[in-house]
Chains A and B, each alone.
Chain A
Amino acid sequence: MLYFIADLLALGAINAIMAVGLNLQYGQAGILNFTYYTFVAIGAYIGAVTTMGHPPVPASEETFILQWNLPWPVALVLAGAVAGVLGLFMVLVVIRRLRSDYLAIVTVSLGFIVWDLITNYVPLFNGANGLFNVPYILNGATASEITYTLEVFGVAMVVLAVCVWVVRSIFRSPYGRVLRAIREDEVVAASFGKATTSSRVWAFVLGCVMAGLAGALLVFYVNAWNPQGFLAEESFILMAAIVIGGPGNYWGAVLGTFVFVELLSEIERYLPNFGNGALVGAGRAVLIGIVLIVVIRFRPDGLIPERWLRWYRVPAGGGQGGAAGSQSRGEPRRRLGWPWLGQRSEI
Chain B
Amino acid sequence: MLQIQEVEFAYGGSQAVAGCTFDVPDRKVTGLIGPNGAGKSTLMEIIAGGLTPSSGRIVFDGTEIQGLGRIRVARLGIIRTFQTPRELTRLPVMENLVFAAPNQIGEGPLQSLFRRSRWAAQERELRLKAESLLEWVGLTKLREEPAGSLSGGQRRLLEIARAMMAEPKLLLLDEPSAGVFPAVRKLIAERIREMVERGITVLVVAHNMAFLSDVADDVVVMAQGKVLRRGTLSEVRADESVVAAYLGGGHVGGTS
A positions within 8 Å CB-CB of B: 166, 169-170, 173-178, 180-181, 184-185, 187-196, 198-199, 202-203, 206, 306-307, 311-312, 314-315, 317-318, 320, 322-324, 327, 333-338, 340-341, 343-347
Contacts and interface: CB of A to CB of B under 8 A. Distances in A.
Interface in B106-151: 106-109, 111-113, 116-117, 119-125, 127-133, 135-140, 143-144, 146
A169 B111 CA distance: 10
Nearest to A197: B71
B194 interface: yes
Contact of B187 (A176, A312, A317, A345): A345
Contact of A314 (B127, B133, B146, B184): B127
B138 A323 contact: no
Given A191-B80, A314-B127, A340-B194, A196 B112 contact: no
Contacts of B74: 190-193
Nearest to A192: B100
A179 to B, nearest CB: 9
A328 B92 CA distance: 16
Interface stretch (B7-15, B17-25, B82-90): B82-90
6 contacts: A169-B116, A202-B108, A311-B94, A311-B144, A314-B124, A317-B117
A320 B123 CA distance: 12
B119 A187 contact: no
Interface in B18-69: 48, 50, 69
Interface of B: 48, 50, 69-72, 74-75, 79-80, 82, 86, 88-92, 94-95, 98-100, 102, 104-109, 111-113, 116-117, 119-125, 127-133, 135-140, 143-144, 146, 153-154, 157, 166, 183-184, 187, 194, 197-198
Nearest to B168: A192
A336 B128 contact: yes
Contact of A335 (B132, B166, B183): B132
Contacts of A170: 109, 112-113
Nearest to B186: A345
Contact of A180 (B80, B88, B104): B88
